[in-house]
Amino acid sequence: MTTVPSVHIKLPNGVEYDQPTGLFIDNQFVASSSGKTFPVYSPSTEEKICDLQEADRDDVEIATQSAYKAFKKWSTVEPKVRATALLKLADLIEEEKETLKAIEALDNGKSLFCAGFDVGIVIDYIRSCAGYTNTIDGRTINTGDTHLSYTRREPLGVCGQIIPWNFPLLMWSWKIGPALATGNTVVLKPASATPLSALYAASLAVKAGIPPGVIQIVPGSGRKCGDAILRHPLIKKIAFTGSTAIGRDVMIAAAESNLKKVTLELGGKSPNIVFNDADLDTTVQHLIAGIFFNSGEVCCAGSRIYVQEGIYDKLLAKFKEEVEKLKVGNPFEEGVFQGAQTTPDQFESVLSYIEKGKAEGAKLLTGGNRIGNKGYFLEPTVFIDCDDDHTIVKEEIFGPVAAVCKFKYIDEVIERANNSEYGLASGIHTTDINKALDVSQRLEAGICWINTYNDLHHQVPFGGYKESGIGREMGSEALDNYTQIKAVRIKITRKNE
């Protein structure tokens, strides 16, 4: 394999670094088999950042064979070896956090503020995974004195992982961390729009002492590279984060190949419920975090806001005031909260939803326009007096657009909140703990935030009900995605000698 040199990049905030541009196979950055490359653009400037090698089916084959070979040793080393490597990786990410934040802002368009949130969780989560390496235990089972029965939790093998463009480094860690902690090896495809941090983090994995073949990074198209991962017979598990529509295709491909184990973290249209007794000032800030964080490109975004009628007008006045204070623009500028939408297609999609909201009769409280003529920047947008049958209330927009609805009774809002094919997240804002507990138990969602929102923690599992996915990320629950149970039963023969 021919190695490929990195490209030196100077970023607007003064950070300089060397960006790997090759496929990451066997701990080297190498050329693709075809020699083809693809460009990566900045959504803030619409200018090209660099060209990367483009993986296709032949490269997935090479990467998978390398991962398969590495699995035989990585899966059997002492847990402390994997723990040491993961802890070192977390330390290196922490040392390079300013560079990684800047890389995320560069090709994703998110603000440095939001990127800092991501990198902080990445560091904590990789360390958490290191701590789990020696807890991958089975159990002994009492079946009487005639047998010894016990279980082992064993790794699956080579795991294919496909991550999205909205949280590139965060999703990298959510996939890499538990897979490596449990003794698996990985072939990971980053999104073509945002592959830079995945490659740079892979270079840190080499420095951390992770052996060749354990991590493979293959940027390429979903049609060629992604499909090859889904259908490769040596890949035993698929972890995918993305849209529900593509998630269905992932399950079909996994079933048609070798019945790969599948975990899916998919779309959402999450309800964020505000009751009359909520604290107005703090609630408004949590509503802002719920829908405008990361430019609204968040699968668990609190995009359906339900406000009880007694506080409706007062809350909307405060919400409008605070939303219009948000600084939107160049993600490298001080004080910017909302950066650019990541891709031109998504930018146009969000604009089309704004037009649908207007056409269907929702009232525009604030926003709704493009900012400037260069870069994919949008005003934070709030529609009010929305009906449940409005498109902007039913469909995932994946952008900085909130749809506000009024409600009167608790049972009413729970029924409306649950009336969705999605069930990823939910929010409750109230000063009544009994109400909070009652409503949280009745909402159909994988996570429920009370008097907060988008408040992730590396020890708290994350995932969805219904069409929002299968399996969980983070917490001890993530380890279940990467292990299988072997039962051992030994007949005991009693001898009187």
Q: Name the 3-class secondary structure at 96.
A: coil
Catalytic residues: 265
List, in sequence order, every beta strand (DSSP E) within 242-394. Answer: 261-265, 271-274, 304-308, 363-366, 381-384
**DSSP string over 329-341:** S-TTSTT--B---
CB-based contacts of 248, cutoff 8 Å, min separation 6: none
Residue 397: what are its φ and ψ, rounded to 5°? -90, -40
List, in sequence order, every beta strand (DSSP E) within 197-278. Answer: 215-217, 235-241, 261-265, 271-274
Torsion on CA atoms 433, 436, 439, 442, rounded to nearest 10: -90
CA 17 to chain centroid, in Å, comes to 25
Assigned token pair, 253: 């491909």
- Pairwise CA distance, residues 342 & 309, whole Å: 36
- Pairwise CA distance, residues 217 & 186, whole Å: 8
Burial class (CB in 10 A: 0-12, 13-18, 19+), 178: buried
